[in-house]
Amino acid sequence: MSTEVKVPTLGESVSEATIGQWLKQPGETVALDEPIASLETDKVAIEVNAPVAGVLSQQLAAVGDTVTVSAIIAVIEEGAAGAAAPKAAAPAAAAPAPVAAAPVAAAPAAGESTDPAVLSPAVRRAVLEYGIDPATIKGTGKDGRITKEDVVAAAQTKAASGAPTVPAAVAAPANERREERVKMTRLRQTIAKRLKSAQENAALLTTFNDVDMSAVMEARNRFKDSFEKKHGVKLGFMSFFAKASVLALKDIPAVNAQIQGDEIVYHDYVDISVAVSAPNGLVVPVVRDVDKMSFAGIEKAIADYGKKAKEGSLTMADMTGGTFTISNGGVFGGLMSTPIINPPQSAVLGLHRIEDRPVVRNGQIVIRPMMYIALSYDHRIIDGREAVTALKTIKEAIEDPTRLLIDL
């Protein structure tokens, strides 16, 4: 008996997606509710699960194809009858791949081949760049698939052991030049459009300050073990900055507001979008009601989103809304940046790396762990005085965390 696999509901106002990866190939057995394909929408990746157990007999769309909700993209043969399905069944029999589609196969599941030909484009480029044999990498992605982060970690381990990490391309003749064309994912296209739109439609300006991290680092080092033991999550810096941001947004409501048409919408709640890195690009899931959350609640929410982003399991609901954004470029070593707001929000806080620098305290030059922080804002709604005051409030709360306890 044949069962059709259809594109599921993708979320409010989302009617189409792109085939990002086929996780199962024709002839392979599938279990009930096992992911067989990954779809890319404007915001997140969504997996298509098998409605029945059996054997995947046909793929009716190719990687890169645009499909609509309820469209049939595959056929599964149920039960023993499906076991006779030919393993060599040609994919995309009913829907030939577009000329511009990148010739990329699905990423391997646990136990499958890790030949570069079946890795995702980002992983394949990383493998070539770092000169790592994918067969030696243990995938941490869903179903054991190799992610770009796995390749980078393997390269770092190899470098630490003293082994050379020369990419295979280096051995090519000196006069040989190569190019690879990979179609932009739907998510990357959306990111590009939104960032460009923010530059064109908002009056962007950035104000800077620096923060002495001594007090927060001391508090974190003092309580991190007991905090993790009690709450089951590590105490990081993001919860401190989220709490400090709440103080600033409550004091300066314009920084937490949005322009809608010819009106300004002020919020009496704080939903913070936290920028996290996902395999397909930067995403900003929303931690809701941060003003009512504890440090542990904030850390747990951020940790959960980070895990879901790595697995590619963020939902549309996770990404919807947000009144303010925090982006931490410091985890990648960034010293200073001018972050771009996340429309329709009006401001974004950029965090950067911590480094020891000489500063003057009480007339003496001393060494302190310092961080540059930046607040980019829409000058149409936020005045310079308000932006500077908000950033100064965040700075003061971080330098004296007691303010976070007494709401000062």
Which are the catalytic amino acids?
Answer: 379, 383
Distance CA 355, CA 33 (A): 48
Asked if 293 and 285 touch (Cβ cutoff 8 Å), the reply is no
What does DSSP assign to residue 81?
A: G
Rg of the chain taking only CA atoms, in angstroms: 24
3-class SS of residue 241: helix
3-class SS of residue 188: helix
Closest to 55 measured CA to CA, from 90, 30, 89: 30
**In angstroms, how far apart are the furthest CA atoms of the chain?**
84
Tokens at 120, concatenated: 């995702």
Tokens at 33, concatenated: 């509710």
Strands 272-274 and 2-6: unpaired
Q: What number of other Cβ atoms are within 10 A of residue 5's Cβ? A: 23
Asked if 272 and 326 touch (Cβ cutoff 8 Å), the reply is yes
Asked if 210 and 373 touch (Cβ cutoff 8 Å), the reply is yes
